[in-house]
Each structure stands twice: as C-alpha cells, then as structure tokens.
Structure 1
Amino acid sequence: MIPEQVKLVQQSFAKVAPIADQAAVIFYNRLFEITPQVKAMFPADMTEQRKKLMATLAVVVNGMSNLESVLPAAEALAKRHVAYGVKAEHYPIVGSALLWTLEKGLGSDWTPDVAKAWTAAYTTLSGFMIEQAYAHP
C-alpha cells in the first residue's frame, strides 16, 4: 500500500468510528445474508462480537502506517480463527461484506480511491493472515 492509500483508509475509518456499533450490525447482517452457513460460528448474542470487530479494525487501521506492528496480532487472530472453523475461502467473503458495509456507511465519501485503498488494505492483510493460518502446518 502506498502512503496515500493508508491515509484514505484511516480518514474514512474515522468517519465510520462514530457509528461503530451500527456499522458492525450492518457488516454481520450482510455477512450472514451472503454466507448464512457461517452464522453458526458466532454467538447468539453478537454484542461483544460487534465490539471486538470494531476494536480490531481500529487497531489495524491505526497501525497501518507501520504495518509490521500489527502483523503479530493479525497472525495470532488468523490462527485463532482456524479453531473457530474459518477457512481460507471465507476471507474474500468477509472482505466483500466489509467493503459493502463501508460503502453504505460512508455514502458519498465512498469514492473510487477510497474503495481502492480499502481493497488494497484488506487484500494485503487477509493474504498475510491466510498464509500464516493455512500455509504453515
């Protein structure tokens, strides 16, 4: 990712942060709509899960200026997700739900450049997580 993309991701996330819980609801609703079979991986009460999602996103987004600083936590998260039943093929679906959520949450602030920046960010991080979780026995 280039510095301009990092800045766009961070600026756009700052606009979503005030509606964090609403954004998390939209995200999970979309995820379960497009992949209903993953709903069984989650608790019935999603309150804490929504908080964890937004807190994790905040850490990652804020750490993007120094991506190496968030990679150990991303690796640990990826390995924990394997135990929950997450498969490598789930990552693009989650990415799709995330981008869709950001588009809805940002409205007119969801520009082609912002979309490209978020796509690059998610692709970079999810690629790393997939490699760490599934490429090493």
Structure 2
Amino acid sequence: MTPDQVKLVQESFAKVAPISEQAAMIFYERLFEVAPAVKAMFPADMTEQRKKLMATLAVVVNGLSNMSSVLPAASALAKRHVGYGAKPEHYPVVGGALLWTLEKGLGEAWRPDVAAAYGTLSGYMISEAYGGAQAAE
C-alpha cells in the first residue's frame, strides 16, 4: 500500500470508529443480505463477533503505517478464516459489504479511492490464505 492509501484507510476508519457497534451491525446485515449462505459460518449471537470485527479492523488499520507489523497478523487472520470455511470467492463479497458499510457510515466523507486501498489488503490476505494461484482467480 502506498502512504496515501494508508492515510485514506486510517482517516476513513477513524471516522467510523466512534459508531463501531452500529457499523458492525450494518456490515453483518449487509453481508447476510447479499450472501445469505455465509450466515451459517457465524454464531447465532453476533455480539462478540461484531466486537471482534471492529477490534481486528482497528488493529490492522492502525498498524498500516508499519506494514511489517500488520502483514503477519493479516496473514494469520486469513489462514484462520480458511478453517472457518472461508473461500477466495467470499473475499469480494465481504469486501463489498465492508465498503458499502464505510460508504454509508462516512456519508459525504466517502471517497471511492478508499476502495482501492482496502482491495490491496484483501488481495494480500487471499494470497496468504490460498496461495498466488487462488488469488488470481
């Protein structure tokens, strides 16, 4: 990620962080709306899952300025998700739900180039979890 992309992601997340509980609810509602089959991968009570999502995003986003500290965590997260049943084709769906949530949460502060920055991290995670060949598919 370029320094400008890092800045965009961090600035956008900082604006959503104050409404993190609501943002997590919106994210999962959107995810389950566009990909109802993935709902079976999650617990019935989503309270802890929503907290984990926002905490994980905070760690990753805040660490983007020091990529060497974030990449091992992102890699481990991606590999853990394989065990949960995540597949490469889930990443665009999850990413789309996340970007949709950010757009709704940021309102007029939304910038489309934020999507490219998030896409860079998603691509890295797919590559780490499934290897370069799967990431390209």
Unmatched tracts of structure 2, length 5 or more: 133-137
Distance in 2, matches of 1:128 and 1:2, equals: 14
Kindly report structure 1 stretches of 4+ aligned residues shifted beyond 3 Å.
Answer: none
Unmatched tracts of structure 1, length 5 or more: none
Check if 1:110 corresponds to 2:100: no
TM-score by length of 1: 0.91
Instruction: Name the % identity.
Output: 76
2:135 aligned partner: none
2:18 aligned partner: 18
Report the alpha carbon displacement of residue 66 of structure 1 after superposing the two structures with TM.
Answer: 1.6
Contact 2:78 2:128 in 1 (8 A): yes
Q: How many residues align?
A: 132
2:63 aligned partner: 63
**1:127 pairs with one of 123, 127, 135:** 123
- Alpha-carbon displacement from aligned partner over 1:13-67 (angstroms, at most 9, x marks no partner): 1111110000000000000000000000000000000000001111111111122
Distance in 2, matches of 1:57 and 1:131, equals: 19
Greater relative contact order structure (CA < 8 Å, 6+ sep)? 1
Match of 1:58, SS? helix
1:46 aligned partner: 46
Deviates more, 1:65-74 or 1:93-102: 65-74
